[in-house]
Structure formats: structure tokens, C-alpha cells
Structure 1
Amino acid sequence: MNAAAPAPTPESLLPGRRPRTLAQVLVTALEERIRDGRLVPGVKLPTEAEIMGEFGVSRTVVREAISRLQAAGLVNTRHGVGTFVAEKIDEPAFRILPQQLATLHDVIALLELRIGIETEAAALAAQRRGDEQIATLRGLVAQIAQAIEADQDTVAADYQFHLEIARATQNGHYVQLIGALGSGIIPRARLAEDDAEARQRQRVFLRRVNAEHEAIVEAIAAGDAEGARAAMRMHLSNSRERRRRSLVT
């Protein structure tokens, strides 16, 4: 009897686009820990091997992510000693704190803000995106799809998807704002591991959400600004309406 195939690692989910895309996902995860205080100023970051083990990425990805964090002034590397969180980190002028997303009303309010911002970002992305950004977006949709079927967390890739659209606008203000909002804008599903029926319902729901992602990408790839605007509005409005319904059920 053949041995079961190994579970896919994050790097296996983005063929052709692995190192750069995964490096940004890792940057986002580590930056979030620095910003929310889980990694305090002056503390030494985990070793390359520890980060590789936790996130399932290669040494190349880890080193690129650390380089980006250095460029952003978030960490300092002492040769022969290690990498440390910078002692002084400039806080973004605008950000959403975890306690500001404590209730469904808070989440709905944030979605209303995102609808106003991200629909226009999608339209601009359709007008300004490059082929490389389309490849990245399609890779992220594929990564999310793989994670859904494997019952793995989709939050990091989902957030990266929205951040990549902001980058495709070629307008740094969109990138800064989505970056300041952080990955907390993406809801996290918490299901009992032994509840097969609940996991299946969640898979069906997430497939539908990812189909909305795919529609956004295809409109952006086609250079269809109005279509991209409409697809993003539908995606975020659907998310808002799902949460509104949960308030009355």
C-alpha cells in the first residue's frame, strides 16, 4: 500500500510565484506580531530554522522577509548575533485595533469603510496592473482554494489578496491604508475539529467567497474597471450582508 502523499506546504501552493509572494505573507504575519506587542522592541526574533518550521517556508523566503522588515525599519540584524525588533517603531497614523472589532456592529462598520475604499482600488488596479501582479493574484486565489480543501487557515492569503490589489493601483496611499488595517479585517473561522458537518459547511462558504475573489481578478486582468469595481463591491457587500443577517438570527 502506497504511503499517503504529504500535506501541501504553503510553498507548494504557489508554483512559479512562491518566494516573493510567501515572503510578503511572512512579512505581514511578523509585522502584525510586532505591531500588536507579541514581539516587543528589543526582543530577538526566532531563528531562521524556527520561522521555517512554523510557517512551512524555505530559508530564501525567510531571508527575503527579514530584508523587507529591515527596510521598513521594524527590525535590526546584528551579524553573528541575530535579528531584533527595533527599539523605536513609528506607529501608523491610522489603524484598527483588535478591540475595535469586538462586535458584529464593529465588523459591519469596517466593511462599510472597505466598500468605499476597495471598490475604487479594484477599478484603479484594472487600469494600472501589470502581468506580474495578475500572476500573483491568481496564485493567491489558487492558494486559498488549496487551503480550503485542506481545512487550513485562509486568512493570511486572503489579506494578501486585498493588499496585492492595493499595490496594483500604483498608489501608495491605498497600500498604506490596507496595511494599517491589518489582517484583522479578514474574519477567522473557528470550528470544532471533530465536527465534520460544520467543516463541510465552512468549505462550501469559503468556496463561494473565493469564487468572488476569482471574479475580481478576472475583471482586473481584463482591464475592466467597471467590472472590477462591481465585483469588489459585490464581494464586500455580500460579506456585510452575511454579518447583518447574523445579527437577527
Structure 2
Amino acid sequence: MPLSRGEQIARALSDRIVDGDIAPGERLPSEAKLSAEFGASRAAVREALQRLKTLGYVRTRTGSGSYALTPPAEQGDDTWLTARSDAERGELVVFRTAIETEAAASAARHRSEADLVEMRAALEAIDAARRPSDSVDADFRFHRTIARAAGNRYLAAALDRIGARAIVVPASRIAHGDRLPAATASVRAEHSAIADAIERSDPLAAQAAMRAHLVASERRRTVDGIEPDRREQHRYS
């Protein structure tokens, strides 16, 4: 069955996001510009954006536009890691937690001084980031360094296979633009707790800190994903 015009536009835009032509956190062109670019109606463009939102490629801010998120996998042997729904994203979080908590514990046992230097450099890069795309890159660098410090090629390979899509781009990172959101302080504290435990060579503390961070990260994603007028209600549910 031929693709609808909206499906064609969605596929073209998702390719740009996966290829990195549209970076995580970057605003997509306006509906008017997309309509002109693709020679399509506004309705077709809106259909495309809704499809991208459903598949987890973009987040829409009322009155501001649509912003790219870290894309799911689409190609090669990594298709089994593609998360196309909230249920599948939840499963990916469980998988990632299993991998990364063990990686953190192992890193606490096996890390080298060079690993510690790289971890601290990644934390500094996270603090220095002002664009969502830079924040995502630095965040993944931090987690990847821990996996490599674990001294287990399979743990490192598993995180590499998940890739930067493991890093959540919550609405707060998009909503505040160049201003650091309050949530950044929590993320910084969580990362620091992981790094400190690894530096102290404390596997149990490193494992617990990583688990706490991933649980908090998932909560930020799910709460941020709720429309503002429902967020207060969600807090008390």
C-alpha cells in the first residue's frame, strides 16, 4: 500500500534525525516551512509530526514547535533495541538498568586512574553544555566511560549497541533553551554520586547510585511527557 503524504514526510524527517542532520534538542522547521519544502498541505505536515511524536522522534511544545529527541535505532542488527512505544521504552530502561548497574559495580573494582580522569572530564562537559545536543553527547560519554572502565568487553559493547538513545532528553532541557533547568542540579548530583563511588572502589555504592540515577531519569521522562495541565494531578497519583 502506498505511503500517505504524511507518512512520506515523517519518514524523510526521521531519516534526518537518525542521520544526525537534525540534532537532539534542535527545533524542526515550522509547519509553514515544512509545507513549502515538501509541497504538502499543513494537514499532511501535522500528520507527519504526530507520527514522529508517537514514535519518539520529536516532542512538541505548545506555541514553540517540535524538537528532535534522541532517535530510536532503525538500521542493521540493532532493530531489536528499537523502542516504539511507552511499553517498549520501559523494557529498554529495564535492560539498560541491568547492564549499567553491573557496569558501575565492575568499574568500581577495575577502574584505572585514566578512567577516573575521563569520567571527570565527561562530568565537566555535561556542566559546560548549553545545547541539548551537547548535553546528550557528554552524558553518553560519561556512561560509556563507566562501561569501558568495567573491564568487560560485553558490557561495553552492549551500551555501545544501545547508543546515545539511552540518554533521555526530557522536556525541561528543551523548554529552558540555553538556561540550565533546575533538574540539572539533580542530574549532576546523581552523576557525581556514581563517580564518587567508583573512585572510592565501592561496588555496592556504585551499583546503587547508578540504579537510583536511572530510576530518576525514567521518572523525569514520564512526568515530563505529561501535558502541563495534567502534571499537578500526576504528582499526587
Please tell me whether residue 105 in structure 1 is matched to residue 87 in structure 2. Answer: yes
Change (3 A) 1:205 1:171: same
Instruction: Name the amino acid aligned to 1:157.
Output: A
Please tell me whether residue 221 in structure 1 is matched to residue 214 in structure 2. Answer: no
Instruction: Name the amino acid aligned to 1:158.
Output: D
Please tell me whether residue 235 in structure 1 is matched to residue 235 in structure 2. Answer: no
Rounded Cα–Cα distance in structure 1 between residues aligned with 2:109 and 2:193: 16
Rounded Cα–Cα distance in structure 1 between residues aligned with 2:138 and 2:214: 16
Relative contact order higher in (CA < 8 Å, ≥ 6 apart): 1
TM-score, structure 2 length as denominator?
Answer: 0.57
CA displacement at 1:244 relative to structure 2: 4.1
User: Aligned pair count?
Assistant: 158
SS in 2 for 1:203: coil
Structure 2 gaps, min length 5: 1-14, 22-74, 232-237
The aligned counterpart of 2:37 is none
Rounded Cα–Cα distance in structure 2 between residues aligned with 1:124 and 1:237: 20
* 2:149 aligned to which of 168, 180, 183: 168
TM-score, structure 1 length as denominator?
Answer: 0.55
The aligned counterpart of 1:157 is 138
Residue by residue, what CA displacement relative to the aligned partner does 1:101-136 show, whole Å, maximum 9, x if unpaired? x44333322111111121111000000000000000
Rounded Cα–Cα distance in structure 2 between residues aligned with 1:227 and 1:205: 23
CA displacement at 1:240 relative to structure 2: 2.1
Change (3 A) 1:242 1:105: farther
Rounded Cα–Cα distance in structure 1 between residues aligned with 2:173 and 2:160: 31
Rounded Cα–Cα distance in structure 1 between residues aligned with 2:148 and 2:162: 15
Are the counterparts in 1 of residues 173 and 181 from structure 2 also a CA contact under 8 Å? no
Residue by residue, what CA displacement relative to the aligned partner does 1:85-113 show, whole Å, maximum 9, x if unpaired? xxxxx94477523xx2x443333221111
Are the counterparts in 2 of residues 119 and 232 from structure 1 also a CA contact under 8 Å? yes
Structure 1 gaps, min length 5: 1-32, 40-89
Change (3 A) 1:166 1:151: closer
SS in 1 for 2:168: coil
Query: Aligned ranges for residues 109-128 of structure 1 at < 5 Å?
Result: 109-128=91-110
Rounded Cα–Cα distance in structure 2 between residues aligned with 1:107 and 1:114: 10
Residue by residue, what CA displacement relative to the aligned partner does 1:7-43 show, whole Å, maximum 9, x if unpaired? xxxxxxxxxxxxxxxxxxxxxxxxxx9xx5679xxxx
Instruction: Indicate the RMSD between aligned Cα atoms, in angstroms.
Output: 3.2
CA displacement at 1:237 relative to structure 2: 1.0
CA displacement at 1:171 relative to structure 2: 0.4
Please tell me whether residue 179 in structure 1 is matched to residue 183 in structure 2. Answer: no
Percent identity between matched residues is 30
Instruction: Name the amino acid aligned to 1:178.
Output: L
